[in-house]
Chain A
């Protein structure tokens, strides 16, 4: 017989594995993914999914760490990347109660807006300087693909528990 505690532990384990896989894939495939404007941003997707399950302080710490690591890989400013991902993760963790409880549709909107906002901000503050329309357009494509991938991952972890 499965209790509520067991279910929560299993959910935590599955979610941790799925999010870790997304983050590992991001760092492994980063050069390939950056070649395509429509490629999913697995780093931001993984961070947003983690922020759904973490306390805001822990989400901020995770965001900072991932931002600094990603900046070191991208040769960008460590502090700025850390600050952007920290802010997004903190707001994401705080906003989940305002937006939804457990509805898949709202998770998709949350992922889309979060990824779009993060990628557009990183494009503006980075040295790449793609221009405002290009940055917004590219971030929209990235947000759409990230949402699709992360909703599938989230659904798979949920269905694995049933």
Chain B
């Protein structure tokens, strides 16, 4: 017999004690807050799991090398066009603001970071880890985006590492507005009956109709997300109308899972909406 009982009743009691002790440790770990959990996860990932994670990185880099080069070429071309346009816009904005006697606008700053998605046993993860060398001890919540649009938010940090939620996380919310500025609302994740992951724009005033295909961007209300970050496009009005508001299904601009390099946004001092001191009566 290869599988035999080991230990008598005394041994079984000690086994139970060992199991209870480890179960208590598990309960303690489960009850830790986001900060200590992130620290423990970071320690494990940088020690025991480091060789495995390094191997994953090699596999991933080799697998996507050719397609990544093509994608980078396309991104570089479109960025060159956008940079040229934005230069003109920036000059015009600066000139108009000086004519109105407004202070220079604070745009906030972006920094580049590495994003590591979670991989649970079932379904798609709505969590990620963010690593960056650019910024230390950044303040949360912190908006995370790709050049295509809004991706998620960092909830807790330890040093230059943070954990965050994709927009697919049930707790995710962001203030949005249509590109024409007529309809405002709050965006949240929504799973259709078919299991498709979309967004739902809620709280749109009842008298405001949003046509299909309208682009939705962040409104900047709350200060967590920068104004004008692409969120998605309106697909159709949602069936359920609550009270005096509309809700619309939105096709997200960015779907989680593919991005390994992202942009974090550090808000500047929000003084651009205030009149300058000397302009006050």
Could you list which residues of chain A lie within 8 angstroms of chain B, going by C-beta atoms?
11, 27-28, 30-32, 34, 41, 52-58, 60-61, 64, 67-69, 71-80, 82-83, 86-87, 90, 93, 96-97, 100-102, 119-120, 122-124, 126-131, 134-135, 138-139, 158
Main secondary structure of the interface of A (DSSP, over half): helix
Q: Interface stretch among B20-28, B232-240, B241-249?
A: B20-28
- Chain B residues numbered 1-42 whose CB sits less than 8 Å from any CB in chain A: 1-3, 5-7, 11-12, 14-19, 22-23, 25-32, 37, 40-41
Residues of A within 8 A of B170 (CB): 129
A130 and B123 contacting across the interface, CB-CB below 8 Å: yes
Number of A-B residue pairs, CB cutoff 8 Å, is 176
Q: How far is the CB of B63 from chain A (nearest CB, A)?
A: 9
Residues of B within 8 A of A127 (CB): 118, 120, 125-127, 169
Q: How large is the interface on B (under 10, 10 to 19, 20 to 34, 35 or more residues)?
A: 35 or more
Task: Please report the C-alpha to C-alpha distance between residue A97 and residue B49 in the assembled complex, in whole angstroms.
Answer: 35
Could you list which residues of chain B lie within 8 angstroms of chain A, going by C-beta atoms?
1-3, 5-7, 11-12, 14-19, 22-23, 25-32, 37, 40-41, 44-45, 48-49, 52-53, 55-56, 59-60, 116-129, 163, 169-170, 195
Task: Please report the C-alpha to C-alpha distance between residue A3 and residue B112 in the assembled complex, in whole angstroms.
Answer: 64
Residues of B within 8 A of A60 (CB): 15, 18-19, 22-23
- 5 shortest A-B CB distances, which residue pairs? A123-B122, A79-B30, A128-B123, A75-B118, A79-B29
Q: How far is the CB of B51 from chain A (nearest CB, A)?
A: 9
Residues of B within 8 A of A28 (CB): 52, 55
